[in-house]
Chain A
Amino acid sequence: MTVAGWGLILLFVAILLALAKPMGLWLFALYEGRITPLHRVLGPVERGFYRLAGIDPNEEQGWRRYALHMLLFNVALLIFTYAVLRLQGVLPVNPQGFGAVGADGAFNTAISFTTNTNWQWYSGEATLSNLSQMLGLTIQNFLSAATGIAIAFALFRGFARREVKTIGNFWADMTRVTLYLLLPICIVYAIFLIASGVPQTLAGSVDATTLEGVKQTIALGPVASQEAIKMLGTNGGGFFNANSAHPFENPTALTNLVQMLSILAIGVGLTWCFGRAVGDTRQGWAILAAMGVLFVAGVAVTYWQEAAGNPVLHQLGALGGNMEGKEVRFGIAASALFAVVTTAASCGAVNAMHDSFTALGGMIPLFNMQIGEVVVGGVGAGIYGFLLFAILAVFVAGLMVGRTPEYVGKKIEAREVKLAVLAIAILPLVILGFTAIASVLPAGLAGPLNKGPHGFSEILYAFTSCAGNNGSAFAGLTAGTPFYNGMLGVAMWLGRFFVIVPALAIAGSLAAKRHVPASSGSFPTTGGLWIGLLVGIILILGGLTFLPSLALGPIADHLAMVNGQLF
């Protein structure tokens, strides 16, 4: 570990904290439906959309209606994306002349991008036409991100509103988030990327002759535009297979820092927005602090493990940290930080191959996803996932102050507990259940590249990444088979909507409740004690559930390495 490495990590955390309030203020304006300066330019566009679609943005929806519209919209997007991928061969803007994507592959990819997972079983530059990238994937990058934020808004309203049946209007939330948040930032962001050297062209590729005189085809495309939303919307689906390790996606140290920041920017803003929405910004800071503790701990372990390197290689004389699978341009600190950032959020973009991390260094990204990507988390998904844990934490420990539990002025009762448990249980069910299936069936066993616990980690990572809607690849797993495409596709769908629907139901249930004014007898949900409690509950509930699988994967892997055995 180096001073410069820690300096980078500290700088990153400091900038992120500074972003929380300004981003939160902007989000809060959209949450409230306030008029922003951008309305002068984009207001007519917004109203045009509503008129075109025949939507009244002021029509309030109950949670069932909100959820139904959200689901119908996402199913429609799924079918559309599937169609684009299947018909790729006959559609225009296909300079490389790629044929149709296979049925299982298209199924997987359509779900992957609809659910904000962006798991990629394929190499983008060798499989997808520019039209598919833009129409199929970039659009989904926007809309899946907007969906996440809309759900978060709906849940905030549940906490903030008093004795009403409604939690907002899905279409208004979607439109405002896309138009006033994602789009403007992405335009500026893409221009910055282009200025930094990221290609933005409709040309398919250029040919170059290398020093050895070999002809090399260099893939190009509309990279910058996809790159911006890939990060900002915690999508993570790279234009190229190498993702953000590719110099055309992530050319400089500055772009690397900005990319990491943009992954978490909206997430930290949402914590502030939550506090503001419930009328006490300290509530938001408390959540951010708990996330921060988990984040810094994760970065520290990964950086420490990666910097410590591999003792087996040390004996062979290859001293230093673990550089396998890392871009030399970024080095250990920036790669370790990126890995934790991308899995803390449900982004899944990578600038190094997690498969090549040390066992424990790679376990942190895995664990981050298993606890539901609630450490800042994916846009919207992080905060609503975190609030589910907060509900449980309040319920378990809240009784200890001698009152029935309440959180930010709402009593937590049987219905909320039931829904929160349901939403939290889906992750272990899918991750562990599907991993179990894959680790006994021949079709599943055919996937992993490596043997022993490391191979097991590869399977576990894939299902974790998909169920958590992360999409980062551990690599090493041959996932482009019908078995994995199908199983992982289902995992992504379950991991997304079986959390969202209970979260919306909680929003509806909370909105209908009376507000309980806080007193000195109320359970304190700000301050160190609460932060510690949140961290404890997340680690115990999340950690204990996955400990057996981690023991048989990365932990066994690590201990074998210590004993001189590599997989």
Chain B
Amino acid sequence: MTAPNSMFSAALVIPAMRDAVKKLKPRELSRNPVMFVTASVAALLTLLLALGEPGLSTGFQVQLALWLWLTVLFGTFAEALAEGRGRAQAASLRATKAELKAKLMLGVGDTYELVPATQLEKGEIVLVETGDLIPADGEVIEGVASVNEAAITGESAPVIREAGGDRSAVTAGTRVISDQIKVRVTAEPGQGFLDRMIALVEGAERRKTPNEIALTILLVGLTIIFLIAVSTIPAFASYAGGAIPVALLAALLITLIPTTIAALLSAIGIAGMDRLVRFNVLAKSGRAVEAAGDVDVLLLDKTGTITIGDRQASEFRALAGVETDMLAEAALLASLADETPEGRSIVALARERYAIRVQALPAGSEIIPFTAQTRLSGVTVAGVTIHKGAVDSILKAHPLEDALPAVQEMRRITDEIARAGGTPLAVIRDGRLLGAIHLKDVVKSGVRERFVELRKMGIRTVMITGDNPLTAAAIAAEAGVDDFLAEATPEDKLALIRREQAEGRLVAMCGDGTNDAPALAQADVGVAMNTGTQAAREAGNMVDLDSDPTKLIEVVGLGKQLLMTRGALTTFSVANDVAKYFAIIPAIFVALYPGLGVLNVMGLATPESAVLSAIIFNALIIPCLVPLALKGVRYRPMPAGPLLARNLSVYGLGGLVAPFVGIKLIDLAVSGLNLA
């Protein structure tokens, strides 16, 4: 996906300014109660200005009203800017969608009718030929094709989509680049992946997340408390034998209520989703992103996440009485035709370590391909048959007495390899067991460190593997995961998730197959791989367009960053109030009790400039914090204690001190320019 990289490029800022004004509509504003109060007070001041309030200069009142309106505008601008970043992406997606045409099958042979994709109904079948764009989300029911999904994922290498199995889902807007397929439409019109993506990046479907709702309640509560505090002042002042101009009380109120966080709250949420989208992960709801921050347990598939997908041959283990070279040569011959990475690694090992010089299979050799039934492969060379395969499969194909020393030794070697975290392949020549090939799982470099980080953050990692418990334990120890689930079936996964959840933990996992769907749906954060089946993509609450299972870890980080940004700005906003009090309270009360002038600790020039400076600071802090709100606070994995200490000193203490400095500087400017 492409989007302007600079947050403040003119292409984004100018439309955002226009939208900021549009968002001043009362209905739009009322979604944000604090800003609504701010706007109401601004309107009230504007009205008072027209009526003329005694005791204050018109110039001062004009400036006050102006800055209050600017406060509101800065808030709407922040939201518009955050939305604008997604809108550019949405526009290109929408263009793709508009041009989609579908070849709707008519049910008789291969005849079809060309219709606009928007008219496709769920269940209809379309034909997609080489060069066509797939018109709707669906499932391949016939054929195999390579598909370029760059429009969605940004990855130009084509992927295979075929009927049946776990690679049958296709997405609207992607292009078939070879062969042809028939696709059954699985999405209602307007409900497809593309539609969802457009809505998501545009923020149109944005609903407040649970945490945002709770925070909004707190902000409203603070607003009410400060409303009480300010609205009772006139009565107190009348006791003291004076009166305080409404404009000054309005200024006090606006500086006290949490305008900063209220103005930035929705921008933070939108930007958080946007970061995820840029990371090529689509979250179906903001709730899922928040849940990611709360995750306690990560279920990680071994293959591809913890180990590099392919196992490598590392050793030949010959049985007693068998030359290792003989085993190596047999293994090499059996693997020459095996184009899998495992097969290639056996050939490489035999050649490099055991100096076997066979370059190619002799003519007349017969290749025995791997089938799901026999689960072994091999070759017949000059009348000699060599098989290789899982130990159990080999023994099944070649029934040997269990009591035979060779079989017993084979089992012993098998166990040893498994215990070391490897997978054994048995090699048999003309019914004689030669030995085993040790296939080793290679743990990805750097994952161990990642798990250490996760543990510091209080997150437990559980490795999921189909391996037997011995192998699993060895790999788990090597990779440094906290726990593992061996010989895992989809039911085991589901049960594990339920068990963790019953103990109060939040679980995240990723998966791609149809049989992963129940577990994906049960997990608090379920990341479906985009290459996966439609069922998996429906069940998860996030889809990873790159189909990279390691990303689960980053998704957790993004969730945490979103929550931290919200917390940091809330704390900053509340801490700001102290300084504002010290600016405004002496300014408005000094006429009643001149002694209160000593509270003017910042030494602000005049009461008017003090009030104006506080209001200006309160307004300007919003655009100053927009980059932080959009980028998110810096996030490094560490335990909660140090993290809190760091953020509290930056945003809490910083929030306490910054306005003292800021207001003083603004006051110098205001009084220097004779504005008040």
Contact = CB atoms under 8 A, between A and B. Distances in A.
B233 interface: yes
Interface in B483-510: 503-505
A545 B458 contact: no
A536 B656 CA distance: 11
Interface in A387-416: 392, 395-404, 409, 412-414
List 4 tightest A-B contacts by C-beta distance, closest first: A521-B458, A399-B567, A402-B560, A559-B595
Interface string B441-464: 000000000000001111110000
A547 B585 CA distance: 8
A429 interface: yes
Nearest to A513: B504
A519 interface: yes
A8 interface: no
Contact of B639 (A413, A520, A560): A520
B504 A400 contact: no
A563 B567 contact: no
Interface stretch (B16-24, B70-78, B217-225): B217-225
A225 interface: no
B589 interface: yes
Given A459-B239, A549-B236, A552-B589, 4 more contacts: A400-B647, A435-B235, A548-B589, A552-B240
Contact of A529 (B256, B595, B648): B648
A311 to B, nearest CB: 13
Interface of B: 210-211, 213-215, 217-218, 220-222, 224-226, 228-230, 232-240, 256, 290, 293-294, 296, 455-460, 503-505, 559-561, 563-564, 566-568, 570-571, 574-575, 577-578, 581, 585, 589, 592-593, 595-596, 598-599, 635, 639-641, 643-645, 647-648, 651-652
B504 A514 contact: yes
A425 B228 CA distance: 9
B644 A401 contact: yes
Contact of A456 (B239, B585, B643, B651): B239
A549 B240 contact: no
Contacts of A466: none
Given A425-B228, A551-B599, A439 B235 contact: yes
A7 interface: no
A440 B672 CA distance: 40
Contacts of B218: 392, 395-396, 417, 421
A541 B221 CA distance: 11
Interface of A: 392, 395-404, 409, 412-414, 417-418, 421-422, 424-425, 428-429, 432-433, 435-437, 439-440, 445, 452-453, 455-456, 459, 514-517, 519-524, 527, 529, 533, 536, 540-541, 544-549, 551-552, 555-556, 559-560, 562-563
16 contacts: A397-B571, A400-B571, A400-B644, A412-B214, A414-B217, A421-B218, A421-B225, A425-B221, A433-B228, A439-B238, A440-B238, A456-B236, A547-B585, A552-B236, A556-B592, A556-B596
A556 B585 CA distance: 12
A399 B599 CA distance: 33
User: Which of B214, B220, B589: most chain A CB closer than 10 A?
Assistant: B214
A437 B231 CA distance: 12
Contacts of A514: 504
B595 A417 contact: no
Contact of B570 (A399, A421, A432, A547): A399
Nearest to A425: B225
A263 B650 CA distance: 39
B640 A397 contact: no
B459 A521 contact: yes
User: Which of A401, A536, A541: most chain B CB closer than 10 A?
Assistant: A401
Given A402-B293, A436-B235, A520-B456, A397 B211 contact: no
A394 B236 CA distance: 34
Contacts of A439: 235-236, 238-239
Given A402-B564, A402-B643, A395 B214 contact: yes
Contact of A402 (B232, B561, B589, B599): B561
B210 A559 contact: no
Nearest to B559: A402
A371 to B, nearest CB: 13
B595 A414 contact: no
A448 B559 CA distance: 57
Given A436-B236, A556-B596, A396 B574 contact: yes
Contacts of A540: 574-575, 577-578
Contact of A418 (B217, B455, B585): B217
B570 A516 contact: no
A33 B593 CA distance: 57
A419 B293 CA distance: 25
A556 B457 CA distance: 50
A396 B567 contact: yes
A452 B595 CA distance: 13
A521 B648 contact: no
B210 A414 contact: yes
Contacts of A453: 240, 593
Given A421-B221, A521-B457, A563-B595, A400 B651 contact: yes
A428 B644 contact: no
Contacts of B635: 402
B240 A456 contact: yes
Contacts of A562: 595
User: Which of A395, A445, A533: most chain B CB closer than 10 A?
Assistant: A395
B298 to A, nearest CB: 12
A378 B237 CA distance: 32
Nearest to A532: B648
A413 to B, nearest CB: 5
A400 B236 contact: no
A151 to B, nearest CB: 21
A193 B566 CA distance: 56
A390 B570 CA distance: 16
A399 B504 CA distance: 19
A404 B563 contact: yes
User: Which of A392, A404, A515, A541: most chain B CB closer than 10 A?
Assistant: A404
A458 to B, nearest CB: 11
Given A547-B581, A548-B236, A516 B596 contact: no
Nearest to B643: A401
B239 A400 contact: no
Given A404-B211, A453-B240, A520-B457, A440 B643 contact: no
User: Which of A425, A548, A549, A555: most chain B CB closer than 10 A?
Assistant: A548
Contact of A398 (B233, B457, B567): B567
